[in-house]
Amino acid sequence: MNAPEILPSPASNFSLDVWSARQLDVIEQALSRWVACPGDAPALAGLDNAMRYAVLNGGKRLRPLLVMAACAAVNGNEQAALRSACAVELIHAYSLVHDDMPCMDNDVLRRGKPTVHVRFGEAQALLAGDALQALAFELLTPDDDSVNSQTQARLCRMLAQAAGFQGMAGGQAIDLASVGVPLTSSQLHEMHRLKTGALLQASVMMGAACGAASLQAQNALRDYGAAVGLAFQVVDDILDVTADAATLGKTAGKDAAQDKPTFVSLMGLQASRQYAQKLLAQALASIRASGLENTRILQALADMLVNRQH
């Protein structure tokens, strides 16, 4: 469990692994049911296959777990959370499909398998990504009474902002423009705040939006999401230089080879590790300030994200 020393250990009857396994079971089933299910559209010329290949590929589902954990902390609507969890994962999955394309990172391997454009062709990859983004918003707006309209609208707003030009897509544009360019620490932070941080933070906030969190709790979870989102990227940069491809499931050392600025290239390895731990401490402090009681999952997730080995 690697529970951080700064906090009391989670109750001995709690295991993140057990909780995660149960959640992942539900999430994988929901994704398999909702992503362009065979039979929905018999004549889609393989688009449905490309979409399913992009999503049902053994991802770690960190974002969905953050959604479910935040929903649990506010005792929210679990149907709304499950839809949000899947929607956030679809946005993440589409971004990987487009990011891997030849005009972007030109990556041929993702989680140990051929990337979508290698397997299905570039045009199909482009369309599959586009369709996954639309599907995310479709999942958030079911035409029944399982999620009230106010929550539907709010979830769409949060996801759209996190995915768009002032979130993930904007961060990717900065990333594109920064290859081979020396960035300052604040520019690197801004890039990652948008590129990966916005969607991770939105995962937490959307989970919280599935319940009736106080303003104090919402603000605390926003801070938690920001710290966890940034820490995730710092750890990614660390693993890019310390882990091997087999452990990582993707090409290691790639950022350095492409002359992309990273936290490690800017701060060095040791300082990056210290920074990740500092961000973890900040995330845990935010949780304590939330006034929420059922936060042990959020605590354990933050710890796992920072201390992961792949």
Question: Site residues (CB under 8 A) for a copy of itself?
Answer: 36, 40-41, 43-48, 51, 94-95, 98, 101, 103-104, 121-124, 126-127, 129-131, 133-138, 140-143, 148-150, 152-154, 156-157, 159-161, 163-167, 169-170, 172-174, 176-178, 187, 190
Distance CA 163, CA 153 (A): 15
- To a copy of itself, the closest distance from the beta carbon of 220 in angstroms equals 20
Residue 202 CB, nearest distance to a copy of itself (Å)? 11
Is 265 within 8 Å of 257 (Cβ atoms)?
no
Nearer residue to a copy of itself within complex by CB, 14 or 137: 137
State the nearest-atom distance from the C-beta of 222 to a copy of itself, in Å. 15
Nearer to a copy of itself, 135 or 264 (CB): 135
**3-state SS, residue 112:** coil
SS3 113: strand
Q: Which is nearer to a copy of itself, 18 or 177 (CB)?
A: 177
The Cα 115–Cα 106 span in angstroms is 9
Shortest reach from residue 148's CB to a copy of itself, in Å: 8
180 C-beta neighbours (distance < 10 Å), count: 9
Minimal distance in Å, beta carbon 187 to a copy of itself?
7
Instruction: Say if CB 302 and CB 232 are below 8 A apart.
Output: no
Q: Please tell me whether residue 240 adopts helix, strand or coil conformation.
A: helix
The strand pairing partners of 113, in sequence order, are 110
Of the pair 67, 306, the CB lying nearest a copy of itself is at 67
Structure tokens that stand for 80 in this block:
């709304």
Select 19 or 94, whichever has its Cβ closest to a copy of itself.
94
